[in-house]
Amino acid sequence: MDSKRPPSDPANTALQAAAFQVSPAIELQPISASRPVGATKTSHHDGITPAASDLLANESTQPPSGDRAPPGPVPDTTKLQVSKAKGVTVIVTLAGMSFLNTMGSGILTAALPRISRDVGLSEALILWPAAVYALAAGCLLLIFGAVADVVGPKRMWVTGSFLFIVFTVAVGLAQTGLQLILFRTMLGVAISMCLPTAVSLITNTFPRGTWRNVAFAMNGMGQPLGYALGLVLGGIFTDTIGWRWAYHMMAGINLCLSLASIWSLPSIRQASEKKWTRRLVEDIDWVGALIMSVALGLLLYVLAMTSSSYRMLSDAPNIALLSISVFLLASFPAWMAFQTRKGRPALIPNRLWRNAAFTSVCLSVFFCWAALNGIQYFTTL
């Protein structure tokens, strides 16, 4: 049999995924098993993805090489498949959301002393508006990424972007410290619906090549630029017309991006004979998502509580919560191995970490964001 399948590129796939919080839908399973001619049935126990199963089935039904028609022209897989206007709009839309994600945090950092006075935020809770945003977003990234694989990334992204508008306006209208903390929490929930879907939207819009590279570069560049500009605008608005107008301006920009996304973003739905409600139950590793979300949530909570003084780590509640978090983090790989062994969906299969490109990019992203968050802290001093 001399038909050839397109070669896979796990390094490129891993780079795209890890650069934006690692979408849980990544599959790097090699096609390592061959089947006799005519055998098309596959299962998760074989370690073969549905896409690989389709390839094997197509190969098994191919006629002998002598009966094949002459090969046609090879399609250009690097050519942009959408109009340039739509391609540019997709890039601006996705990069704009990454920009607004950190711009709001920059505004909050610069205006926090004035904000705390205006809404009556106590000194003990002054760091909570920033902490709860990261807490909500970090806990729900994996869950919403998995749900987006079922309902479609465009639907998830558009829903999150419009919710982001609503709660950005709400932050600007907050009258009490409790309202500010609550609305910032909901902002974190909304942004966690947008960030993990960006990778899928980019890869399904742009072929490999210049356009895709530019899209990923702009998406990544939006976050540090957004925070830097947010610091500047936070100071300017606070000293002039008020910090509330900075958030209203953000909501206006986000409204334009959200309306553009309805037209520009591609509609992506995985073909399946099962209804989407059934897929939500059967095709998502809810236990794994819960383990990781609770572990990260408890860890971020303890870090937020002890940010004012490291001595608070010795408090019994913080010790207990930190211990539970460490236990859950340690049990996550064991659960992934159990799910893989049973042929069930695994949130982040352990085999991904054996891919050098994937692991190295994850570490690079971790240390880059650690450095950026350190800079954010020192800019408030």
**pLDDT tens by residue, 28-51:** 344 333 444 334 343 443 443 343
Above 50 in pLDDT, residue 83? yes
Task: Assess contact for 90 and 200: CB atoms under 8 A.
Answer: no
Close Cβ partners of 293 (under 8 Å, ≥ 6 residues apart): 139, 140, 142, 143
pLDDT value of residue 1: 42
Weakest mean pLDDT among 63-67, 107-111, 248-252, 319-323: 63-67
**pLDDT digit string, tens, across residues 203-260:** 888 888 888 888 888 888 888 888 889 989 988 998 899 899 999 999 999 999 999 9
pLDDT value of residue 147: 86
**Mean pLDDT comparison of 55-59, 114-118, 205-209, highest-scoring range:** 114-118
Joined tokens for residue 350: 């352990």
pLDDT value of residue 252: 94
Weakest mean pLDDT among 13-22, 69-78, 157-166: 13-22
pLDDT value of residue 28: 39
pLDDT value of residue 113: 85
What CA–CA distance (Å, rounded) separates 253 from 247?
A: 10
What CA–CA distance (Å, rounded) separates 290 from 354?
A: 24
| Alpha-carbon torsion angle 34, 36, 38, 44, nearest 10 | -40
Sign of the four-CA dihedral 61, 62, 63, 69:
positive
What CA–CA distance (Å, rounded) separates 135 from 120?
A: 22
**Higher per-residue confidence, 276 vs 77:** 276
pLDDT value of residue 250: 93
pLDDT value of residue 377: 66
What CA–CA distance (Å, rounded) separates 254 from 293?
A: 27
Task: Assess contact for 247 and 168: CB atoms under 8 A.
Answer: yes
Nearest in space to 87 (alpha carbons), one of 269, 229, 209:
209
Section 60-75 average pLDDT:
44
Axis crossing angle, helix 198-205 with helix 153-173, rounded to the nearest 10: 130
Above 60 in pLDDT, residue 67? no
Of all residues in the chain, the percent with pLDDT exceeding 70 is: 75
Q: 86 falls in which pLDDT band (50, 70, 90)?
A: confident
**Mean pLDDT comparison of 13-22, 247-256, 280-289, highest-scoring range:** 247-256
What CA–CA distance (Å, rounded) separates 241 from 102?
A: 21
Above 80 in pLDDT, residue 343? yes
Section 182-202 average pLDDT:
90
- Please tell me the CATH code under which domain 80-275 is placed: 1.20.1250.20
pLDDT value of residue 324: 93
Q: How many CB atoms lie within 10 A of CB 69?
A: 6
DSSP 35: -
pLDDT value of residue 169: 94
Close Cβ partners of 13 (under 8 Å, ≥ 6 residues apart): 26, 28
Count CA within 13 A, CB hemisphere, residue 331: 16
Q: How many CB atoms lie within 10 A of CB 286?
A: 15
What CA–CA distance (Å, rounded) separates 205 from 198?
A: 11
